[in-house]
Chain A
Amino acid sequence: MNIVVCLKQVPGTTKVNIDPQTNTLVRQGIKNIVNPFDTYALEEGVRIKERYGGKVTAISMGPPQAEEALREVISTGADEAILLSDSAFAGADTLATSHTLARAINKLKQYDIIICGRQTIDGDTGQVGPELAEMLGIPFVAYVSKIEEIDNGYMRVKRMVEDGHEVIETPLPTVITVVKEINVPRLPSLRGLAKARSAVIPIWTAQELGVDKNMVGLSGSATRVIRVFFPQRVHHGEILQGDLESQANSLINKLREAKIISGS
């Protein structure tokens, strides 16, 4: 079983602080991490390998320092890792990103299951997985919470939807995105850490992937961010005063006056 896990290095927090002087994001002291949702993808890949045999290849597109993220996933079970890095890839939206990833996965030639996290914690789009599936021309299942069985070129999975779970059967190769309910990622082993230190992580550039520079990075992106701003929260709320009973009475009266709840 050839398993490919796609992952992204992201800032370690979404609690971006604002410098009151300049009104910009404070980036200092924010550590980069592997996108948390992608750690479930990696763990699931490793579990499939442990159960069915095979190899887990981790792929990430990003700046040179994204190599750290790939070393980290080697320490938690990836067999190999490849970094897609080139200045031509910068500024990519999900369309250009999935195109680049698809080219890399095609270059691997052999793949049965491609696993992505449900979304990243910085962009929050959740679009790269499904777009990648289409570019590879293979089926896709989102929000997988359990892999029930893999057999004879097919995989049966449980996926989460708003009001429950669907059980879906898909032929391989396939792309899935996973939710955090699927597993509890393991911690790095000592052997894994040693392997991560010595691992050679190849860097594939635009040239190695043979991509048209107009299909990747900002040039290959269909969307463009034209404005970024901080959401305004205007507070009109009221903290109820008094002892417990008068707070409760006051709340119920206010809700009734506003006709939010009924009653006398």
Chain B
Amino acid sequence: MGIQIDLDKCVGCGECLSSCPFGLLEIIAEKVYLREGCTFCGACQEACDYQAILIEAAAEAPAAGDSYRGVWVFAEQRNGKLKSVAYELLSRGRQLADTLGTELCVICFGHGINEAQQLIAYGADKVYLMDAPALSSNQDDLYTKGLVELIEKYKPEIVVAGATSLGRSFIPRVAAILKTGLTADCTGLEIDPETGLLLQTRPTFGGNIMATIICQTKRPQMSTVRPRVFKKGTPDGRRKGQVIRVDFNKQRITSRTKLLSFIDDITEAVKLEDANIIVSGGRGVGKAENFQLLEELAGVMGAALGSSRPPVDDGWVSYSHQVGQTGKTVCPKLYIACGISGAVQHLAGMQTSEAIVAINDDPNAPIFDVATYGIVGDLFKVVPMLIEKLKND
């Protein structure tokens, strides 16, 4: 297992050096030398014309995949209402299932859910619905056990869920119990036309590098997927599908942890994830009081208030406003970034917005690289001007 370099075959040409995404290869005394940190990605093997580099492939497990069929989407709900990421995954899941020529199933746990027919209209062939009062809040333990039971029974080949707080905390537990692979926070899902494997692409190193990951020998292939990456499809009310009610077995499925209470953080009128327009502030806003100016602009535009990480770190606004790698991913029609430099972690959470306006006094700020329209200037002059103009109309 690992990487072998045949020094007899190596001619020291250096062709492989640029192929290593981690820059781990060097030529010493006309032979290639590998530093520590290799992920065995195989790029250097392809680059070598002399067959001097050999990656020993992982031992091929018996074709476990064959008895596993179907693409599953875990549809997350809150208070009986499905999150939009469920529909986004449904639209991508439909494409994956069609490519594989298999069925698309939705798994939904909750209480008082009446969107099953709508899930079918959006592309599901089957909806497995486990409805019980105990499942109304997001109970990690119950969800973990419930999903494991269903996967063991029906053996899907692919299971995807939203990379939300819930998805990222309970899906790994499901994968660990099933001893299968899981790729976190994916932004791309494709089927490899040759192997039929799920190609899972995700940002890593804070979004500076993208990696494509496969799960070759274990099933199901599992991913959590970043919300707002895939677009919700259009419903077709004539689609036919099956709604299968799954019994919630209280004796077998119990929770060790207990949810005692929920404290709602969001005080403003428009929720960040649902907003059409977001006015967002960064370090350049300077202090907590100055966020009032952004709130005023947000008020005039009917927008939600967002923030990059520094204002949250400094306590100017609460975490629920944070957009980015460790906050929320948003995809509004318009994102107005005020005094935000545009660190890659922030861009990761907002760069798929339909239009981006950047207001920053530093013309070299990276935010201008993703901006549709940029204004290089003092936000404390630009924002009041915009408020005035919009108010007067």
Contact = CB atoms under 8 A, between A and B. Distances in A.
B213 A219 contact: no
B84 to A, nearest CB: 12
A45 interface: no
B23 A165 contact: no
A166 interface: yes
A118 interface: yes
Given A22-B23, A222-B181, A260-B355, A244 B259 contact: no
Nearest to A21: B18
Interface in B163-187: 164-166, 168-170, 172-173, 175-177, 179-185
Interface in B106-141: 138, 140-141
Given A167-B259, A224-B216, A261 B168 contact: no
B10 interface: no
A240 B375 CA distance: 6
B23 A27 contact: yes
A190 interface: no
Contacts of A261: 277, 301, 334
A170 B257 contact: yes
Interface in A99-139: 118-119, 121-127, 129-135, 139
A220 B284 CA distance: 47
Interface stretch (A50-58, A71-79, A88-96, A203-211): A88-96
B172 A127 contact: yes
Contacts of A130: 169-170, 172-173, 176
A251 B373 contact: yes
B173 A251 contact: no
Interface in B347-393: 354-358, 363, 368-377, 381-382, 385-386, 389-390, 393
Interface stretch (B87-95, B202-210, B287-295): B202-210
A109 B370 CA distance: 51
Given A167-B259, A167-B260, A231-B210, A23 B175 contact: no
Interface string B5-41: 0000000000001101111100000000000101111
A151 interface: no
Interface in A19-36: 19, 21-27
B41 A251 contact: no
Contacts of A129: 172
A200 interface: no
Interface string B201-243: 0011111111111111110000000000000000000000000
A223 interface: yes
Contact of B179 (A91, A95, A177, A233): A95
Which of A161, A162, A169, A251 has most B Cβ within 10 Å? A162
A60 interface: no
Contact of B169 (A121, A143, A163): A143
A18 to B, nearest CB: 9
A42 to B, nearest CB: 19
Given A24-B22, A218-B58, A223-B214, A248 B207 contact: no
Contacts of B355: 255, 258, 260
A134 B41 CA distance: 28
B285 to A, nearest CB: 18
Nearest to B207: A231
Nearest to A136: B176
A162 B84 CA distance: 13
Given A162-B164, A244-B381, A16 B208 contact: yes
Contacts of B170: 130
Interface residues of A, number: 93
Nearest to B354: A260
Contacts of B59: 214, 219
A26 B263 contact: no
B325 A142 contact: no
Main SS of chain B's interface residues?
A: mixed
Contact of B1 (A26, A217, A252): A217
A229 to B, nearest CB: 5
A169 B255 CA distance: 11
A131 B175 contact: yes
B68 to A, nearest CB: 14
Contacts of B21: 24-25, 228-229
A235 B369 contact: yes
B377 A244 contact: yes
A239 B374 contact: yes
A135 to B, nearest CB: 6
Interface in B239-260: 256-260
B369 A143 contact: no
Contacts of B356: 237
B109 to A, nearest CB: 16
B374 A25 contact: no
Interface of A: 14-16, 19, 21-27, 63, 90-91, 93-95, 98, 118-119, 121-127, 129-135, 139-143, 156, 158, 160-171, 177, 179-181, 214, 217-219, 221-231, 233, 235-240, 244-245, 247-249, 251-252, 254-255, 258, 260-261, 263-264
Pairs A-B, 7 closest by C-beta atoms: A222-B181, A14-B206, A142-B169, A24-B23, A228-B21, A223-B181, A134-B176
Given A91-B38, A95-B179, 17 more contacts: A15-B344, A21-B18, A126-B168, A130-B173, A134-B144, A140-B169, A140-B257, A162-B273, A170-B257, A181-B319, A217-B1, A224-B213, A226-B213, A229-B209, A238-B372, A239-B374, A247-B382
Interface of B: 1-2, 17-18, 20-24, 36, 38-43, 58-59, 78, 138, 140-141, 144, 164-166, 168-170, 172-173, 175-177, 179-185, 199, 203-218, 256-266, 271, 273, 277, 301, 313, 319-320, 325-326, 328, 333-334, 344-345, 354-358, 363, 368-377, 381-382, 385-386, 389-390, 393
12 contacts: A129-B172, A131-B176, A134-B144, A156-B260, A163-B320, A164-B263, A167-B262, A222-B217, A223-B214, A228-B209, A229-B212, A237-B373
